[in-house]
């Protein structure tokens, strides 16, 4: 809200007139300062978020969680939004107005580190994101799961010749190369 809007609200609600200068001093003395606004999702539901956290803490351990996020980088993403200058002069920064080439990255992260990473020029769209989840994240985890199962004595299939393992990963995924982050 602007000072004039707060001034009008106080006048209408409390029938008190206060100057903008006095209002500004009162706001400053209360410890409130002018800051760059952060955008918060309008759809954010705090009750639903708390319920989800409780359910996740009850039914899952940290080692069962994988988090996926995306980010992007271009020539304009490194600039500060605030700066200092002498009173009465404008704070400026030399900036490129040309965006340049943009790269986007999607990564899946667990306690063990990065499970899968995908970098593309431009932006990641919904189809590309789904492809990343299915072909990179799920495929890598499936390879890991089957690899672990094949090393358990009870998991060996008696119908397979000695030393031969299941071929499930090759049937599910295009190739095991999709799982490069798991190949240490």
67-73/103-110 β-pairing: antiparallel
Q: CA-to-CA distance for 47 and 40, rounded, in angstroms?
A: 16
Q: What are phi and psi of 38, to 5 degrees?
A: -100, 140
Of 97, 94, 68, the C-alpha closest to 80 is 94
Q: CA-to-CA distance for 168 and 142, rounded, in angstroms?
A: 9
pLDDT in tens, 128-146: 888 898 888 888 777 777 7
Q: Band the pLDDT of 27: cuts 50, 70, 90.
A: confident
Flag whether 43 is in a domain: no
Greatest Cα pair distance in the chain: 91
Flag whether 141 is in a domain: yes
Flag whether 25 is in a domain: no
Flag whether 135 is in a domain: yes
Using the predicted structure, report yes or no on whether residue 171 has a pLDDT greater than 60. Answer: no
Flag whether 55 is in a domain: no
Whether the predicted model's global pTM rises above the 0.85 cut: no
Flag whether 54 is in a domain: no
Which domain covers residue 71, as residue numbers?
65-182
- Helix 20-29 / helix 3-14 crossing angle, nearest 10 deg: 100
Using the predicted structure, report yes or no on whether residue 169 has a pLDDT greater than 50. Answer: no
Domains identified in the chain, total number: 1
Q: CA-to-CA distance for 131 and 116, rounded, in angstroms?
A: 12
Q: CA-to-CA distance for 167 and 165, rounded, in angstroms?
A: 6
Residue 19: the pLDDT is 92
Flag whether 56 is in a domain: no
Flag whether 97 is in a domain: yes
Residue 24 region by backbone torsions, left for phi larger than 0, else alpha for psi between -120 and 50, else beta: alpha
Contact at 8 Å (CB) between 89 and 40? no
Residue 82: the pLDDT is 65
């Amino acid at each position: 809200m602007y000072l004039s809007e707060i001034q009008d609200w106080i006048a209408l609600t409390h029938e008190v007139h206060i100057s903008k200068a006095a209002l500004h001093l009162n706001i400053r003395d209360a410890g409130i300062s002018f800051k760059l606004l952060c955008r918060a999702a309008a759809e954010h539901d705090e009750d639903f978020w708390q319920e989800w956290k409780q359910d996740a803490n009850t039914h899952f351990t940290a080692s069962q969680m994988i988090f996926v996020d995306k980010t992007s980088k271009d020539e304009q993403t490194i600039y500060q939004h605030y700066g200092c200058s002498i009173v009465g002069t404008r704070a400026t920064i030399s900036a490129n107005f040309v965006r340049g080439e943009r790269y986007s990255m999607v990564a899946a992260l667990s306690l063990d580190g990065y499970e899968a990473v995908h970098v593309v020029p431009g932006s990641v769209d919904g189809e590309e994101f789904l492809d990343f989840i299915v072909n990179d994240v799920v495929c890598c985890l499936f390879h890991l799961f089957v690899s672990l199962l094949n090393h358990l004595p009870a998991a060996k299939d008696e119908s397979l010749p000695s030393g031969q393992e299941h071929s499930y990963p090759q049937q599910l995924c295009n190739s095991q190369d999709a799982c490069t982050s798991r190949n240490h």
